[in-house]
Amino acid sequence: MSQGIGLLTSPGDGGRTELLLLLDVVWCCPGCGHEQQERYYRATPLHPCTLARLEQRLDHAPAGVQASCEQCDQPMDGADAVERWSLQTGFPGGHGLLQGFADRAGGRSWRLSPHQRLDVQLLPVLEPPEDIASVIVERLSESTCLDVFHRCWNPKSALRQALLHHPPAPGSCVAIDPTPGLRIVIADADDADQALALMASRLPDAWVTETLVAGGEPARGWLNGPAEWLGDLLPSRPRTFVVAAADPAQVAEAAQTIVESFPMRITIEATTPTTCRLIVEGAPEDAVTIQLDQHDVATEAARTLICPRDATRVELDRAIVWIGSATASEEAGT
Ligand SMILES: [Zn+2]
């Protein structure tokens, strides 16, 4: 994860996108009792990152971290010398910050802030500040996220919950809007045409539609697709039909606000009504023509059930890494 250029997402194992986690810990030296604070940068695979996984990451965050006491130089291990810690993360594509707080005695709480955003330079916070703009809870839930952020943390969880609790029944289509710019419709296999018609009738033409499940079979052939996160539920629901749609306009809007938060100056030029070009000041000539195709990003969002704004951030971070490596190669004369 490259902190220097402010990335919130980065390619992990097998090209699977990871999301930044900021871990701040307070050490208490077992030898001399000296307290010191340190920050660690962590990441978790973005697509399978449910709220339950975030809670697990908070619980186990000190395991594996090591430090030396500033006062007596004694080596310290997270498992027995971290007193309290916090984990911060958020939506890569926009506002919405989650901060988890924990201590050795078992205390756990989460602060959800709708007007703050994840940033590599966020200051450490080790106790939840109370203010009227945030909500503090002991456990995370998608319903709390909906209340506070007006969107789900993970749209895949919303679909799974819907299939678990409201399996498709003949003659009824269920529509879910898990995030802005993303809609899911679930139906019985016999009602697939009605589900598609329902989707088409209520959405602008520009939205991209992708069938995720037909005849109880998840669509295959792409990374982070439904086969990876619905496969366990479908054998007992062989008549399931699921279609998702995403809004390309959200991609263009998000790109503009995201590049404003980058430390380098980037301008966006429209090249066609649905594509644009990113121009990075100071980057080598052949690295500046990064094309962002709103239709492609929205398709990726619909296929993998991710908010189109978050998908935009993933795409832009990928481009920034590419520019960074191109610039480094040019400077090295290769
Ligand atoms: Zn010490």
Distance 57 CA to ligand 1 centre (A): 27
The structural domains of the chain, with segments of one domain joined by +, span 9-149, 155-246, 249-331
> What pLDDT, on a 0 to 100 scale, did the predictor assign at position 2?
46
Percentages helix, strand, coil for the chain (3-state, rounded to 5) are: 30, 30, 40
* pTM, rounded to two decimals: 0.92
Q: How deeply is 249 buried, as exposed, middle or buried, from its count of CB atoms within 10 A (0-12, 13-18, 19+)?
A: middle
Pairing state between β 240-246 and 182-188:
antiparallel
pLDDT, mean of residues 34-52: 97
> What pLDDT, on a 0 to 100 scale, did the predictor assign at position 167?
82
pLDDT, mean of residues 133-160: 96
Share of the chain above pLDDT 70, in %: 94
Contacts of 258 (CB under 8 A, 6+ apart): 93, 312, 313, 316
**pLDDT tens per residue across span 231-246:** 999 999 999 999 999 9
Distance 64 CA to ligand 1 centre (A): 19
Distance 24 CA to ligand 1 centre (A): 19
> What pLDDT, on a 0 to 100 scale, did the predictor assign at position 330?
66
Distance 23 CA to ligand 1 centre (A): 21
What gap in Å lies between CA 252 and CA 247, rounded to an integer?
Answer: 10
Q: CB within 5 A of ion ligand 1: which residues?
A: 29, 31-32, 34, 69, 71-72, 74
Q: Which of 20-24, 142-146, 234-238 has the lowest mean pLDDT?
A: 234-238
Distance 86 CA to ligand 1 centre (A): 22
Alpha-helix residue ranges (DSSP H) falling in the chain = 51-60, 78-81, 142-149, 155-165, 192-202, 226-229, 248-260, 294-304, 308-331
Contact predicate 117/134, CB 8 Å:
no
Distance 35 CA to ligand 1 centre (A): 8
What gap in Å lies between CA 119 and CA 97, rounded to an integer?
Answer: 9
Contacts of 324 (CB under 8 A, 6+ apart): 2, 5
* DSSP letter string, 65-125: -EEE-TTT--EEEHHHHEEEEEEEEE-TTSS-EEEEEEETT--EEEEEETT----TTPPP-
Distance 309 CA to ligand 1 centre (A): 46
CB hemisphere CA count around 145 (13 angstroms): 23
Closest CA to 142 of 125, 127, 160, 128: 160
Q: Which pLDDT band holds residue 20 (cuts at 50, 70, 90)?
A: very high
What gap in Å lies between CA 26 and CA 84, rounded to an integer?
Answer: 5
Q: Is the pLDDT of residue 177 over 50?
A: yes
Q: Is the pLDDT of residue 69 over 80?
A: yes
> What pLDDT, on a 0 to 100 scale, did the predictor assign at position 1?
44
More confident residue, 96 or 326: 96
Q: Which pLDDT band holds residue 29 (cuts at 50, 70, 90)?
A: very high
Distance 20 CA to ligand 1 centre (A): 30
**pLDDT tens per residue across span 262-308:** 877 888 888 888 888 888 777 766 655 678 999 999 999 999 999 99
43-71 core/surface letters (b: 16 or more CB in 10 A; e: else): bbebbebbbeebbebbeebbeebebebee
Contact predicate 142/160, CB 8 Å:
no
What does each C-alpha distance from 295 to 211, 302, 309, 317 come to in angstroms? 16, 10, 13, 18
What gap in Å lies between CA 305 and CA 242, rounded to an integer?
Answer: 11
Distance 130 CA to ligand 1 centre (A): 32
Distance 75 CA to ligand 1 centre (A): 8
**pLDDT tens per residue across span 198-222:** 888 888 888 999 999 998 899 999 9
pLDDT, mean of residues 60-77: 96
